[in-house]
Structure 1
Amino acid sequence: MRTLHGPKDYLELARAPGTPPEELARLAAADFPFVWRALAERPDLSTELLRSLARRPAAGWNGACLLGLIARHPNADREALLIVLAATADLLGRGERPYAVALALARRIELPAGEVSVLGGLAGASRRFRRGLRRALAH
């Protein structure tokens, strides 16, 4: 395993092609949200690591960005998407606006429309968001 001296080393390793799976798992356990995002951008990231990242605390822009990357990731399975859905509902309930995440979830075939449509009824859902959600679910 490579010795990591600082945040830059973590980020470089997260972005490096060919980083071994055990190193990716170590990076996912790091406390750097920018590293989590870099991992979620990797097309080769495993479903297990996507689930692990989805369980990370989601708050503010960093959290919504990470959740959005996972919601759009081709390797995200139903379980990972359900974790993202729950975190998105929590953010909406706290008055945050993870609208892009919700719309990405609405476009996933792994989630039935009924599971995602509940987001439109939460306190943080604006009228414009509800309209966009209905459109995304219709396609």
Structure 2
Amino acid sequence: MNNTAIETGPWEALREDAQAIRYQVFVVEQKVPLELEWDEMDPQSLHAVARDAAGRAVGTGRLLPDGHIGRMAVLPEYRECGIGGAILRALMEKARARGDREVMLNAQTQAQGFYAAHGFSVTGDIFMEAGIPHVCMRHVFTSDRR
């Protein structure tokens, strides 16, 4: 999707848009309990929000201080348009720029292929989180900027 802009910033600046997307995707669509969706890591993390050509917030993700990427969500009508990849690449680049040597994430198993296509490798067994099967994945930065 060529007309997508990725904005990164602190929770205070992006909270309203990020919360609306996460609520729709995780709480409504995936039935994650509301009390599990918001946590103490939000104010400590770098957030990304994708906006369509009209400026509507359509996707989000976050980068924790320890290099974990999480809370990746794209509104249903905007999936399969490259928005998730753009958010992931933006967060990975922010991690690399601040000196992180690798990034990790807990991928829903149905999204494992998406992350693998962006250079992530599985590092553990399947586990349940919020009633959804997940797998740990990581990407080590190399000099090829991949």
In the superposition, the TM-score normalised over structure 1's length comes to 0.37
Q: Which is helix-richer, 1 or 2?
A: 1
Identify which of structures 1 and 2 has the higher relative contact order when contacts are C-alpha pairs closer than 8 Å and 6+ apart.
Answer: 2
Which entry has the higher C-alpha Rg, 1 or 2?
Answer: 1
In the superposition, the TM-score normalised over structure 2's length comes to 0.36
